[in-house]
Structure 1
Amino acid sequence: MFVLPDDDDRQFAVTLARGLEMLRCFLPGERMLANRDFVERTGLSKATVSRLAYTLTELGYLRHDVEARKYRLGGGVLSMGYPLLAGMRIRQIARPFMRELALQIRGAVSLGMRDGMNMVYIESCSADKRSDTRPDVGAVHPVLRLAMGRAWLAGVGPEEREVALNQLRVGVPDQWQRYRPQLDQAMRDFAELGACFSHGDMQKNIYGIAVPLSAPVDSETLVFNCAVMDHTPQARALLDDVAPRLIAMIANVESAAGLRQTVTTTPPRYPRR
């Protein structure tokens, strides 16, 4: 649902915001949307949706299927996002460390950033390319359901966290009510253990362990996440070992990226949960 800013912000371009909100209406697995879908998901009038859809189509961000009378995302959306990914040097630096850890834990290691109510995956490596634990680059999942999202909330400063929490309370009240206990536990885990956890909240039989980088990269708080299937051999035994290995990997990535001075060659001591 499209919501205007609370204050009278003369710098806020409402028409631009409405157009971008329409592009955000597409969910994973949805190839096409009709005007009525945009109306339902944004709360905008039919006339406004029709005008914005026409403009976005002319600009290449939407494509109109005449026979189906529906819209699909256009190539402009993809080309607009690629410079962001290509410019993230941390992805190239982290990739070999992520691949090594994925092999060690027999799971997947991912890197993500927050976008509103969701976390977006910007890099991912897996011990098995066919593994269900490995998300695609560009995949989005709700902040509150992921260890990665909880680690982002734990890792940012108090003011930024409070703003994000208020947005989540208002924007996704059902998720807020359902996952608030897990979020509270994640905050305690992060304070005590330096990592946040999840089990089955996003996908059945998947353990998630997440840790944010200690310093922002290009003004963004990035989070590394490990995913291990709980029915694989040694999965449960690995859990006590995954978090310290992830923390050690992040220290090495930060050192390689010039974010810290020392290199960690062995996992730190880590109390059992």
Structure 2
Amino acid sequence: MMILPPDDPRFATTLARGLSVLRAFRPTDDGLSNAEIAQRTGLPKSTVSRLTWTLGTLGYLTQSPRDDRFRPGPTLVAVGQVASASLSFLVPAQELMARLADETGALVVLAVRDGTRLVLIRTWRPARVSSIWLEVGQPVALRGFSSARAFVAAATPAELARVAAEFPASEAEPFGPMPQVRNRAGAELTARGFVFTPGGPDAAAPYNAVSVPFRGPNLPEPVVFTCGALPDAADAVRMETEIGPRLAEAVRSLERLTGQPSTLSRREA
């Protein structure tokens, strides 16, 4: 659902609503109807109809004559490619993370914040491993998961305040008790170089995962690299003792290659 920020004359509400329509799509969708988009965004169906017609006219959405459902259009794909190309750190990250995935057998993903959630924008799949999960575009809640804890640990107080302002008033503490989560995850990052969150049926996340934040050139907030695997005890041990340190070293190498300071050194700015 779209969350509007506090009143500000500079805020273009119509633009925000149009972007919320684009953000309603998920990788597993085979098109969305106006009614489904309205349900996901919380916008009136009449408003959604006008927005989808406009976005379709501009090429950001396409509408199939077969089922009248909307899908991302070529203009949106082109904009995404331009945005991806502007993230220069992805060039050296490609080799580092692909090697890590192949050598550990774990899926490696890169997540960025998108409103009140994190979204995966890159995945590196290990070769010769059949149990692969998570796709580009997959949303991740800003709570519970190792990627969320890494983001909270690395973000500055001003960045976290900006994120918290986007949540409904009923979710005043979107990350849980903020100081405790930030301090605990920050201490874990300082001590080990990564955060680890166990997974399982009774845990916040369905799988064991380790995460390390990174601040790329010209990025307004930290992004997060994560390695995830299946929720069993042996896997959890390996995550902490082998894969977590390997991921931390890969991100440190990326910082050196891109000339970036340690992410944690900027968290109090």
Quickly name the TM-score band, shorter chain normalised: 0.7 to 0.9
| Rounded Cα–Cα distance in structure 2 between residues aligned with 1:50 and 1:96 | 43
Q: Which residue of 1 aligns with 2:266?
A: none
Alpha-carbon contact 1:107-1:228 (below 8 Å) kept: yes
1:116-265 → structure 2 map (5 Å cutoff) = 116-128=115-127, 130-133=129-132, 135-168=134-167, 170=168, 173=171, 176=174, 180=176, 184=180, 187-192=183-188, 193=191, 194-200=193-199, 204=206, 206-213=207-214, 215-220=215-220, 221-231=222-232, 236-260=237-261
Question: TM-score scaled by structure 1?
Answer: 0.78
Letter in 2 for 1:6: P
Alpha-carbon contact 1:107-1:127 (below 8 Å) kept: yes
Higher relative contact order (CA 8 A, sep 6+): 2
RMSD over aligned Cα, in angstroms?
3.1
> In the TM superposition, what is the alpha-carbon distance from 1:142 to its structure 2 partner?
2.2
What SS is found at the alignment partner of 2:10? coil
Alpha-carbon contact 2:5-2:165 (below 8 Å) kept: no
Question: TM-score scaled by structure 2?
Answer: 0.79
Letter in 2 for 1:248: E
Q: Which residue of 2 aligns with 1:87?
A: 86
| Cα distance change on mapping 1:87 and 1:172 into 2, 3 Å | farther
What SS is found at the alignment partner of 1:114? strand
* Structure 1 runs, 4 residues or longer, greater than 6 Å off: none
> In the TM superposition, what is the alpha-carbon distance from 1:157 to its structure 2 partner?
0.5
Identify unmatched segments of 5+ residues in structure 2: 263-269
| Rounded Cα–Cα distance in structure 1 between residues aligned with 2:19 and 2:170 | 19
What SS is found at the alignment partner of 2:143? helix
| Rounded Cα–Cα distance in structure 1 between residues aligned with 2:261 and 2:126 | 28
| Rounded Cα–Cα distance in structure 2 between residues aligned with 1:133 and 1:237 | 17
CA offsets 1:164-185 (integer angstroms, 9 cap, x no match): 23434x2894995xx7379955
What SS is found at the alignment partner of 1:167? coil
Identify unmatched segments of 5+ residues in structure 1: 262-273
Q: Which residue of 2 aligns with 1:267?
A: none
> In the TM superposition, what is the alpha-carbon distance from 1:6 to its structure 2 partner?
1.9
CA offsets 1:220-263 (integer angstroms, 9 cap, x no match): 412211113344966524522332222222111111112259xx
| Rounded Cα–Cα distance in structure 1 between residues aligned with 2:111 and 2:15 | 26
Alpha-carbon contact 2:152-2:181 (below 8 Å) kept: no
| Rounded Cα–Cα distance in structure 2 between residues aligned with 1:120 and 1:3 | 17
Number of aligned positions between the proteins: 255
